[in-house]
Amino acid sequence: MTLPRTPDPGADAAAQYAARVQRVRDAVALRTPDRVPVFGPYQKYVYTHGGLTMRTAMTDYAAARAACHAFQDRFGPDLDFGPILAYPAKPMETLGYRAFRWPGHGLPDDAMYQYVEGEYMTAAEYDDFINDPSDFMFRTWAPRQFAALDGFAAPAPWRRFMWTGWMGLGALASPEARRSMQAAIQAGEEVDAWFASIGQYTAETNAKGYPLAYAGFDWAPFDILGDTLRGTTSILADMRRRPSKLHDALKVATRIFVEYAAPAASAELPIVWIWVHKATREFMSDAQFREFYWPYFREGLLALVDMGIIPLVYWEADFASRLEAITDVPKGKLIYHLAGTDPEQAREALAGTVCLMGSVPNIQLLAGTPDDVRATCRRLIDTLGRDGGYIMDTAVMLDEAKPENLAAMIEFTKEYGVYR
Amino acid sequence: MRDELVRAISDMEEDEALRLCAAWLAAGGDPSEVLDAAKSALGIVGERYDAREYFLPELIIAGDLMRDIAALVKPHLADADEPRPARGRVVIGTVAGDIHDIGKDIVIFMLEVNGFEVVDLGVDVPAEAFVERVRETRPAVVALSGFLTLAFDQMRLTVQALVDAGLRSGVKVMIGGAIMDDDVRSYVGADAYGSDAQAAVRLATAWIG
């Protein structure tokens, strides 16, 4: 497999675009592609590389796009994210978003934004969520998450809108409700401006011959409840304290999971990224994983696969103890991303079932040398990539690196990862 | 009562444990026996965690139970309960720029269960704050926690700050977090890394005794 660098197929961008899509599709389907695809693994790094603070990237959309283009032009990965992970600061300010801290809002200018957990749904509110999730999210959850949306608590539940229900519309005329609706409209306009920038980048990058790495993002049913509603400690204790309520809520969350990803089905490269948060070996036993986490997640993943979506499951920790359970998925339809799981062990359990991705230690890109990185990539291509079914990527999303190390990862993969 | 209480707590029967405590205290039972039983039960929880029978859910419930039991017992105590001599002091915190606390809190729980005194500096702790508290409390161990990759550089800065303040040689430094390994340890200049809370206890025990 060791060979001199092959030029990208075809000079013209459309052919390169098609070749990159095919390369990834072949890897996912466990066929042998022309070479190992390589992902441009950035989160904050792309902006550091482009000379921007995270704060600027979250406010100056044109600068964020330019930074993503500069990265792509220098490193030339097969796939990348574009500016989607530089969340827009302005609407977050407008809404008074309590569940995040970001640069200029509780964090220094060059920090990555971070999520602030809380118990945004109490134990007593399980039934409200189970019986009418939309009402719960709108009237109870949103006012807790967003300071400016407190007025959404005012109206009666929309499920009572028939017959005389409309006579309750007066609640929307209250000062709080007006204020919240105004804030929502303003934030909506601000979010639209950001999405316009994302759309512009997508069109530009496609025209250069690059597909986007994502068609959607999603969260496992257990994490939908655990991250954003109950909080980690509460949901973990719920497995013992109120298991049947948790099961009922997980059924609802599974429907939301499928609904969330569904629009991605129409994309040319319909990859939906799902970061696994609460399933790590510290957080629950294997028995708890098999009872509460995996069955609902698996059901949702299978539904996505049926729609033609390629779920990319980001197993962001050491998942060695779960390997046996998570093998039970259809062959050639999913990508499993590896961070702390031993690659050899993962290969034994999963090769021939799912396409594997990742595993280059982030510390190596920051503190190692290009030779270290090349040695790691060689080992990964020789083991995980030897029969196809592997996509080169870092272990976790990239915030810090030396550019020469990143270049080594991408260039070496393009040379050594060619299948003969 | 004692055995029943130990069993109820260690088997995660929250309602039963609290009922037993309340009944014992209402009948004029010795409150220090309740505390003693709770400590034994906590030891069992720690052992089961070590043995990978228990995980974070059980530590959370045990922690909640301890709080509830302490609140029940408090009005019945004549003086403050005698402080147990600690095995040694550990200063711990999540480094600057990182606000993750769950991993750190598991480590604190396990260190305390095992008799160490823990000074928790919280999350997003600047290097100077570590230096200040190390100077003030003279711990045997400094534990740096971090979940994000930015922690690589922050941990390194923090260790360097301890060196600059002339405090590094007086302490052992351990690091922990999902993405820590020996390469990170060497980059940071720490003495050891731990991949889980048991590792933190093993390291502290080896260093302090």
The residue type at B127: A
Hunting for tokens 């407190």 — which residue is that? A150
Q: What's the rounded mean pLDDT across residues A79-105?
A: 96
The A114-115 sheet, strands edge to edge: A106-107, A100-103, A114-115
CB nearest B97 (choices: A108, A282, A317): A108
CA-nearest residue of chain B to A367?
A: B187
CB contact under 8 A, A399 and B55: no
DSSP assignment letter at A270: -
CB contact under 8 A, B197 and A367: no
Determine the Cα–Cα distance for residues B183 and B190; give it in Å rounded to an integer. 11
Coil, helix or strand at residue B185: helix
CB contact under 8 A, B195 and A318: yes
CA-nearest residue of chain A to B50?
A: A282
Q: Which residues of A touch B97 (CB under 8 A)?
A: 107-108, 111
CA-nearest residue of chain B to A236?
A: B57
Q: Which residues of B touch A316 (CB under 8 A)?
A: 178
Interface residue of B55, B105, B153, B175 to substitute, partner A, most A CBs within 10 Å: B55
Residue A303 token pair: 């539904």
CB neighbourhood size of B73 (10 A): 19
Task: Confirm if A1 and A387 have CB atoms less than 8 A apart.
Answer: no
Interface of A with B in 108-167 (CB under 8 A): 108, 111-112, 114, 116
CB contact under 8 A, B149 and A240: no
pTM for this entry: 0.91
CB contact under 8 A, B181 and A361: yes
Residue range A186-244, pLDDT digits in tens? 999 999 999 999 999 999 999 999 999 999 999 999 999 999 999 999 999 999 999 99
Q: Which residues of B touch A342 (CB under 8 A)?
A: none
**Nearest Cα to A223, choosing from A309, A270, A284?**
A284
Interface confidence (ipTM) of the complex: 0.86
Interface of B with A in 169-198 (CB under 8 A): 178-179, 181, 183-184, 187, 195-197
pLDDT in 10s for each residue of chain B, 209 residues: 889 999 999 999 999 999 999 999 999 999 889 988 998 998 899 899 889 999 999 999 998 998 899 889 888 877 655 556 688 999 999 999 888 888 898 899 889 888 899 999 999 999 999 999 999 999 999 999 998 888 999 999 999 999 999 999 999 999 998 788 899 999 999 999 998 888 999 999 999 97
